[in-house]
Structure 1
Amino acid sequence: MIFEPPSKEVYIGQEDFFQIRLIDRIGVKDIELLPAEWPNAEVFMLNKSSGQAVFEGVSYNINTLYFSLVPKSVGKMSFPSFCLIVSAPTLVSDRDLPNSVKVVSKGKLKACSPPFSLVVKSLPSYSRPLFAASEVKLFDGIVPKVSSVQEGTPVKRSVLLAAKGTLPAFLPDFQIGEIKNSRIYNGKTERSLPSSETGMSAALRQTVVFVPRQAGELILPEIKVPWLNTRTGQIETAIVPAYKLTVLPAPQTKAEEKEAPISPVQKDIRPSGLKLERLFSAVAFIFALLCLVSLRFLKRHLKQKKLIKAVEDACLKNDFEQITPAVLKWASAAFPDRFFHNLSDVRRLFQGRCDDFVKCLEEFEMFLYGTGRFAKHIPFAAESLSRDFSEAFLKAVQVKFEKKTKQTAKLPGLYPDGNG
């Protein structure tokens, strides 16, 4: 076995590579990677290749396994041996093998690499959040792609950030400030990890809708995303230029409203008994209204308790497929005036209000955005994550929010086909 370790120093979130080569003359096959626990790092097997080579007139079989590693925390990291199980002829014994390879059962060999370590560095200080990558591209699409729109016409802008050599969790959300004379609706934010045999390829897609409120100009702002180029060590900036549209006045509609004649004030000459009857009717109406409000409040309270318990049950069962929809259902019910398309929306809501919950959401997103290939082999890490998530979630439930004095109207039919 020949082991080629990763670099000795990398940045947090930076992808690095290592490989294992098995060289033999006995014809090993059915190579399998033994499960192992790699804390604070994502490790993926990218692909493998096989071939032959001749050394000193002797033909050897060469099987090479290629791996990718992305550290998720800063500091020194130590990794245990990477072990493989291979099938081999049954007549092979330990005395025929090197020290790194042992016979574990009939026809099965275990080959282990030496342990290794690396140092994970923090990203340089910068005015805006950085992430490490080997290549970054930034695109945008605007619908409708025209030079002018009428007042009140929604303009949808989708921005795609594609980065090689990192995980989706490290890609920052796009920062879009207020725009004069325009309403802004944050749409979907989607993170993905497209499969690749050459390395990580993370993607972040975010949609924003702009609605001009008066005639004039609508300028979709320039978007800048700074990043650290791991090939050159330099900080670079990916840019999407600003886009200007002319806003035309909305068409005027002529509607004549007829004023109802104002009747003169007449003196109330109804008997006092009729007034008393109306007083009792008003009291009964108010009482019924209070009962209705109380019933509605009780139903909402019971629904909230049910949704909170659903999140707790999912965490207790380590059911990661149910935790996300359970949290989104709770957030949508608790904050009906907000949109929650994914956990990033929930995290932004609690930013600065419940740091424990925000941290757990970030760790949970990192866990979900991996391919999950090795997640089943780390049950203890999963159990710890779900336990911490449950505790932080219960803290977040107790956070009090100030009620908004005015709610922003939703745009009907903004996403009729369900796509951002």
Structure 2
Amino acid sequence: MLMNRFRTYILTLLTLILLSAAHTSWAATASMNRSIISENETLILVVQTQDMSTDQIDLSVLETDFEILGTSQSSQIQLFSGGRSSNKQWQITLAPLRSGTLTIPALTVGNETTQELEISVQAFDPANENKKEQEVFIEITLSKDRAYVQEQIIFTIKLFYKSAIRSGALTSPNIDNAVIERLGEDITYQAEKNGTHYSVLERRFALFPQKSGNITIDPIRFNGQIQDKQAQPRSRFDGFLGQSLFNDPFSPTLKNFRTKSTAQSITILPRPAAATGKNWLPAKNLKLTENISEQSNTLDVGQPLTRTLTITAEGLNSSQLPELPLPDLENSKNYRDQKSQNNQIGKMGITGISQQKIALVPTAEGILHLPEIKIPWWDVVANQQRVAILAARTIMVTPGNNFTVTPSNTENTQPLLTAEPRQTHSSIWVILSGLFFILWCATLYLLWKEKQNNKQKISQEENVSEHRHLRKKLSSIEKACHENNIAAAHTALITWAKTRWPENPPQNLAALANHSDQPDVISALQNMDRILYSTRKKIMEWQEFLKTTRALLSQKTPSHDRPIIKTLPPLYSRGEHPLLK
């Protein structure tokens, strides 16, 4: 009897131990490959569980202190004598958003929870870094650190890199109360820095501060993947010509890399008291020129003259240039054409050009006086006010072919030809010519007005049709996202983009990213592209994706005036620089 009780007690104890061990083995665990990193470096968080039935892991709690650069998932099953073991693993690549001691909170995996982890993030100061040892670094140059309000400042970004860049994104300057214009396309070249050869990508912007005071430009950041030259082959069949038999020699190992520039400070001065005039025009140079259709200083009554006035300003955007003061002229009808504006981009930045055409039609003979035109502007090189002057012009207006013949001084009492009838017919002809000209101008104006109204009506109808078509495409995108169908979402996105930008239809997600200058939208599209072409099953956060890209998807009218910033070509093309195209 005693032996039976003892056996029962032992069996019960063993059962409890086995159940406890089984429960413990199902607990999710978290680990890191590094515990101390720099602010510009990344870490890999590994989450494991033996519960093979779950595919759910909540990573949203990480977004407070970290940027999630990528996620991969894998499963392993091992068979051995008497049983088997299995586990599921997630590898999450994280980039810290700040320095200090950061906490990786407990993650929920199915019905399990991992433990908390701590990591020490050291502050990254680009100014104190040894650039000779860096694979990638950024330098910023400013054309000046003191400037007047609304004066042009050239902001140049130089990305130096030793290893090939496979993918990446470079942020743009972010400044409050400033107009920012991209200056042309990126340029690349080779340069030597501290005895080391680098490839350099250069990108320039024109800044126009709109408020005086001290302003700070946030650091420019680069986030991407570069070739890891120090990576070792991962296959156990190494040794054949220094490479693995089962590794693709054309797909080198990549590593995530982040870096940033130093912050920049600029002092913006207010408009000086010595600057007079209605408009404030701080420029390197400003010219006012004139071109007329008739080089002669003589016109006939009713003969039209086209006068073209042009303002050319180095260092000013064309939108900053003023309207020309054009007073009404006596004995002349004036017809002002629509003003044209454009910007020319050169090595010294933006040159704004504003052109105005005026048609003059003399209505009476005499002297037509075109008064002097003055435009005060501020010379930022000499730091003094100057005035662009267009000299006055005088034009003689004649009656044209009308003439009279006076009587000859003879003894005849009756002249051979009298002047009065000829003068009467000439005056009538001048009046009729003027009336016909006025009627002709009025007819042209009415035809032009009708044409504009028709264009506006057609444009409104096309806009309504286009808006309905785009709304239908957006519904397809949202439906695919809610159904967790990444392939259908990708197809719907590209179809929507081709309808949205028919003049330059994007063919892939990277080309679609070129139509946005918001880093979070670009990052969301890049992440979708990585997940789409990944060989491993990855998680797509659809709610966050729709929330991030809503600004891009909700645009109603094409932005023809804004230059497209070509940030990335297709992410997985080989042999091409990902920041150029």
> Which structure 1 segments of 5+ residues have no match?
94-104, 258-299, 318-372, 387-420
CA distance change for structure 1 residues 116 and 384 in 2, over 3 Å: closer, same or farther? farther
Is the CA contact 1:13–1:167 (under 8 Å) kept in the aligned structure 2? Answer: no
1:19 is aligned to 2:156: yes
CA distance change for structure 1 residues 63 and 141 in 2, over 3 Å: closer, same or farther? same
CA distance change for structure 1 residues 174 and 92 in 2, over 3 Å: closer, same or farther? farther
Is the CA contact 2:175–2:216 (under 8 Å) kept in the aligned structure 1? Answer: no
Q: 1:59 aligns with which of 196, 203, 209?
A: 196
> Which structure 2 segments of 5+ residues have no match?
1-137, 232-252, 403-422, 429-449, 468-512, 519-549, 558-581
- The residue number in structure 2 matching 1:196 is 346
Is the CA contact 1:123–1:131 (under 8 Å) kept in the aligned structure 2? Answer: no
Is the CA contact 2:183–2:345 (under 8 Å) kept in the aligned structure 1? Answer: no
1:247 is aligned to 2:397: yes
For the residues of structure 1 that align with 2:555 and 2:160, how far apart are their CA atoms? Answer: 39
1:9 is aligned to 2:146: yes
CA distance change for structure 1 residues 244 and 165 in 2, over 3 Å: closer, same or farther? same
Q: How does 1:263-282 map to 2 (within 5 A)?
A: none
For the residues of structure 2 that align with 1:119 and 1:209, how far apart are their CA atoms? Answer: 45
Q: 1:142 aligns with which of 288, 292, 296?
A: 292
1:48 is aligned to 2:187: yes
Q: How does 1:243-322 map to 2 (within 5 A)?
A: 243-250=393-400, 251=402, 254=425, 310=460
Residue identity matched to 1:187: D
Is the CA contact 1:71–1:120 (under 8 Å) kept in the aligned structure 2? Answer: no
Residue identity matched to 1:244: T
1:171 is aligned to 2:321: yes
1:117: Cα distance to partner? 3.8
CA displacement, residues 41-83 of structure 1 (integer Å, 9 cap, x when unaligned): 213244534223263xx43215152523232521344432222
Q: How does 1:180-259 map to 2 (within 5 A)?
A: 180-250=330-400, 251=402, 254=425
CA displacement, residues 391-411 of structure 1 (integer Å, 9 cap, x when unaligned): xxxxxxxxxxxxxxxxxxxxx
CA distance change for structure 1 residues 31 and 256 in 2, over 3 Å: closer, same or farther? closer
1:230: Cα distance to partner? 1.2
For the residues of structure 1 that align with 2:315 and 2:324, how far apart are their CA atoms? Answer: 19
For the residues of structure 2 that align with 1:383 and 1:247, how far apart are their CA atoms? Answer: 59
CA distance change for structure 1 residues 206 and 256 in 2, over 3 Å: closer, same or farther? closer
- The residue number in structure 2 matching 1:79 is 217
Is the CA contact 1:4–1:18 (under 8 Å) kept in the aligned structure 2? Answer: yes
1:145: Cα distance to partner? 1.4
For the residues of structure 2 that align with 1:180 and 1:248, how far apart are their CA atoms? Answer: 15
1:237: Cα distance to partner? 1.3
1:118 is aligned to 2:255: no
Is the CA contact 2:376–2:386 (under 8 Å) kept in the aligned structure 1? Answer: yes
For the residues of structure 1 that align with 2:514 and 2:377, how far apart are their CA atoms? Answer: 28
* Percent of aligned positions that are identical: 16
For the residues of structure 2 that align with 1:108 and 1:145, how far apart are their CA atoms? Answer: 67
Is the CA contact 1:35–1:374 (under 8 Å) kept in the aligned structure 2? Answer: no
Residue identity matched to 2:228: T
CA displacement, residues 339-397 of structure 1 (integer Å, 9 cap, x when unaligned): xxxxxxxxxxxxxxxxxxxxxxxxxxxxxxxxxx99842596998999xxxxxxxxxxx
Residue identity matched to 2:192: A
1:118: Cα distance to partner? 2.8
TM-score by length of 1: 0.54
1:6: Cα distance to partner? 5.2
CA displacement, residues 218-240 of structure 1 (integer Å, 9 cap, x when unaligned): 12222222111111111111122
For the residues of structure 1 that align with 2:328 and 2:256, how far apart are their CA atoms? Answer: 64
Q: Per chain length, whose mean CA-contact separation is higher, i.e. which structure has more relative contact order (CA < 8 Å, sep 6+)? A: 1
CA distance change for structure 1 residues 176 and 374 in 2, over 3 Å: closer, same or farther? farther
For the residues of structure 2 that align with 1:381 and 1:236, how far apart are their CA atoms? Answer: 44
SS class of match (2:190): strand
Structure of higher CA gyration radius:
2
For the residues of structure 2 that align with 1:82 and 1:13, how far apart are their CA atoms? Answer: 22
For the residues of structure 2 that align with 1:129 and 1:111, how far apart are their CA atoms? Answer: 42
CA distance change for structure 1 residues 200 and 31 in 2, over 3 Å: closer, same or farther? farther
SS class of match (1:74): coil
Q: 1:377 aligns with which of 507, 513, 517?
A: 517
Is the CA contact 1:70–1:166 (under 8 Å) kept in the aligned structure 2? Answer: no
For the residues of structure 1 that align with 2:291 and 2:207, how far apart are their CA atoms? Answer: 31
For the residues of structure 1 that align with 2:426 and 2:366, how far apart are their CA atoms? Answer: 25
For the residues of structure 2 that align with 1:226 and 1:202, how far apart are their CA atoms? Answer: 16
Is the CA contact 1:223–1:239 (under 8 Å) kept in the aligned structure 2? Answer: yes
Residue identity matched to 2:222: L
What root-mean-square deviation, in Å, do the aligned CA atoms of Structure 1 and Structure 2 show?
4.1
For the residues of structure 2 that align with 1:375 and 1:27, how far apart are their CA atoms? Answer: 25
For the residues of structure 2 that align with 1:222 and 1:92, how far apart are their CA atoms? Answer: 72
Is the CA contact 2:143–2:154 (under 8 Å) kept in the aligned structure 1? Answer: yes
For the residues of structure 2 that align with 1:149 and 1:230, how far apart are their CA atoms? Answer: 42
SS class of match (2:339): strand
- The residue number in structure 2 matching 1:157 is 307
For the residues of structure 2 that align with 1:249 and 1:374, how far apart are their CA atoms? Answer: 62
Residue identity matched to 1:44: R
For the residues of structure 2 that align with 1:153 and 1:181, how far apart are their CA atoms? Answer: 13
Residue identity matched to 1:82: I
